[in-house]
Amino acid sequence: MVKLKIKKTTWNLKSLFEGDNDHQIKKRRKIVEKESYKFINKWEKRDDYLKSPKVLKQVLDEYEKWISRFGAMGDEEAYFYLRYYQEQNNSKLKASLGIVENLSKRISNDMQFFMLRIARIPQKKQPKFLNYKGLGNYKHLLEKIFNESQYLLSEKEEKILNLKSGPAYTNWVNMTEGFLSRETRKVLDEDGKRKEKSFSEILSLTSNRKKNIRDEAAKAVNEIFQKNGDIVEAEMNAIMADKQINDELRGFSRPDSSMHIYDDISNKIADNLVDAAIERLDISKRYYQLKAKLLKVKKLQYYERNVEYGKKTKKYTYQEAVGIVFDVFLKIDQDFADIFQKLIENGQIDVYPKKGKSGGGFCSHHLMSQETFILLNFTGELSDVFTLAHEVGHGINNEFMKRKGNALNFGGPLFMAEVSSKLMEAFLFEEILNEKNEELRLATMMMKLNDQISHVFSSATRNKFESEMHYSFREKGYLSKEEIGSLYKKYSIKYMGSSVEQTLGSENWWMHISHLRIFFYNYQYGAGILLAETLKSSFKKDPKFIEQIKKFLSAGSEKSPADIFQQLGINIKVKNFWNQGIDEIEELLIETEKLAKKMGKI
């Protein structure tokens, strides 16, 4: 195992700023404002770029350069965004973030005339721009703008929507995150002693191998949800109302349509994916039935469904996790390993949980000119090793997109983002599944299935839950936490089946799901797994396919997801494609059931 040098386990943000009160912040802010209004003042009163493809190329080149170097607030916004997620209850950081967000909105509002006016180029004149060779690098961007034009409002109305987004949405979500991250409880730890733990640490303990630890952790989680339930209820209703207003003003017929537009896919592609999974929920029910048998219980408690099966008690140090992931990447492609090494050695990963820090994990990239930063909450479980591979997968995707050098195509839709992360997880699983020890192999297969079940079938039912929640809200005008909890429980039962007990309090566990706040960020995980498995299978058949994978990782948003995958020989428009991926999950389940029977486990 290659041992990389881990110099820091918290972010080194010096590539952005030296510190929270860095005097350079105000100086950089003035530069961003100067460059932003240089563009605005030059083009706001002109309309020649709406008539001439040649002039439009000139202005798009200038806009691309501005996006690449500055964006709305450049390094300052990235810096305080990251610092906030390290210390969510730091009032000074909240104030700084609030200032930069307000400035960013002002610049964005003043800049948005540009895209809005391009969107209003008459349909009969659009082919002249789309077919102009000089605009080739921007062709799909223009296609998206023209497609979205039907949902855009006037410039003044768009400014109003931008300005209200803070108090109508962002502040509510930040409030809930802040309240939950501030919660601590004394709960049992691995050493049998009660210790003060943060909310994210307690959530992690609900999947602990020791029943007394997870039972006490689940009790603490339920207490936290019970305490904050009224707050979360108010928050969810407020942001659903805000979404309804936005959707009605824009003319979206479905609550999820805006996400599909953002994802650059049709409603039908998303529906085919979700429906394909919903029609095969027998697979997830069989999985939980198998897990209950392996764990020697009649039923799993709700919070036990993610408990790892197996007698492994090994905890991984962060150094060991880094070594495992690095070795896997090195076997696949040197570029992958090099990017990972840079992330580690440059201090671009914030590793351990702490009070006030955001839970879960993410990979952040604002501008093409900035470094990639990854947040983890590493506690030493095997699942944390996979989270590391997952988030670094996003990071590898970011670095490949940078190589294309077009900031307007940098960063793809959410539908594409999860493919790279799930692909890296799939490569890691493939390596671990080579284990010849049957006990370890069975445990690893169960872990792989748990991930697939959670992200394909759970995500599909969560998508249905979220859709019904929004429709119900729009019919009734307000939903109590009990009503939301009842819907959540209904869909939990649909994919878990009778082998999982819907434990008292489990109806409230929707309260901490951040993806419900992004709105319909659920089906993307199912797409990520099924597409990743397809790419991995193609690589296994022919290692030269890695070049096609690199093309996908570099693509960003230069084409629609359907067109990008079509170039790789994958048709995501047909429902049968998704069924093929689900068939692979069922095959793994059958293989796992056979191995468990062979070993006398069931």
Q: What average pLDDT does the segment 381-396 reach?
A: 93
Confidence class of residue 311 from pLDDT cuts 50, 70 and 90? low
Looking at per-residue pLDDT, the higher value among 88 and 474 belongs to 474
Strand residues in 273-332 grouped as ranges (E): 300-301
What sign does the CA torsion over 417, 419, 422, 428 have?
negative
**Residue whose tokens read 């062709």:** 139
The four Cα atoms 83, 85, 89, 92 give a dihedral, to 10 degrees, of 20
Would you call 324 helix, strand, or coil by DSSP?
helix
- How far is it, in rounded angstroms, from Cα 506 to Cα 30? 50
- How far is it, in rounded angstroms, from Cα 326 to Cα 389? 9
Radius of gyration of the chain (CA): 24
Counting residues of the chain whose pLDDT is more than 90, the rounded percentage is 78
For residue 164, give the amino acid letter.
K
Does domain 24-173 correspond to CATH entry 3.30.470.30? no
pLDDT digits (tens, 9 = 90+) for 480-493: 999 999 999 999 99
Confidence class of residue 102 from pLDDT cuts 50, 70 and 90? confident
**Residue whose tokens read 């102009």:** 132
Q: What pLDDT is attached to residue 360?
A: 84
For residue 257, give the amino acid letter.
S
pLDDT digits (tens, 9 = 90+) for 526-563: 999 999 999 998 999 999 999 999 999 999 999 999 99
Q: What pLDDT is attached to residue 431?
A: 85
pLDDT digits (tens, 9 = 90+) for 220-255: 999 999 999 999 999 999 999 999 999 999 999 999
Report the mean per-residue pLDDT for the chain.
93
Cβ-proximal residues to 307 (8 Å cutoff; 6+ apart), any chain: 207, 208, 209, 214, 295, 300
Does the pLDDT of residue 3 top 80, yes or no? no
- How far is it, in rounded angstroms, from Cα 113 to Cα 521? 28
- The model carries a pTM of 0.85
Does the pLDDT of residue 160 top 60, yes or no? yes
Q: What pLDDT is attached to residue 129?
A: 97
Q: Where are the domains of the chain?
A: 24-173
Would you call 186 helix, strand, or coil by DSSP?
strand
Q: What pLDDT is attached to residue 63?
A: 96
Q: What pLDDT is attached to residue 513?
A: 93
Q: C-alpha distances in angstroms, 173 versus 154, 237, 524? A: 27, 11, 21
Confidence class of residue 133 from pLDDT cuts 50, 70 and 90? very high
- How far is it, in rounded angstroms, from Cα 252 to Cα 150? 10
Confidence class of residue 312 from pLDDT cuts 50, 70 and 90? low
Specify burial of residue 584 (Cβ count, 10 A radius: 0-12, 13-18, 19+).
Answer: middle
Q: What pLDDT is attached to residue 109?
A: 87
Alpha-helical runs (H) found in 149-265: 155-165, 171-182, 199-205, 211-250, 257-263
Q: What six digits make up the tokens of 76? A: 């300052």
Specify burial of residue 290 (Cβ count, 10 A radius: 0-12, 13-18, 19+).
Answer: buried
Does the pLDDT of residue 517 top 80, yes or no? yes
- How far is it, in rounded angstroms, from Cα 317 to Cα 109? 47
Q: C-alpha distances in angstroms, 143 versus 66, 126, 154? A: 21, 9, 20
Q: C-alpha distances in angstroms, 306 versus 175, 287, 341? A: 28, 11, 30
Q: What average pLDDT does the segment 506-524 reach?
A: 94
- How far is it, in rounded angstroms, from Cα 579 to Cα 602? 28
Q: What average pLDDT does the segment 561-568 reach?
A: 95
Does the pLDDT of residue 72 top 80, yes or no? no
Specify which residues 153 forms β-bridges with: none
Confidence class of residue 89 from pLDDT cuts 50, 70 and 90? confident
Does the pLDDT of residue 572 top 70, yes or no? yes
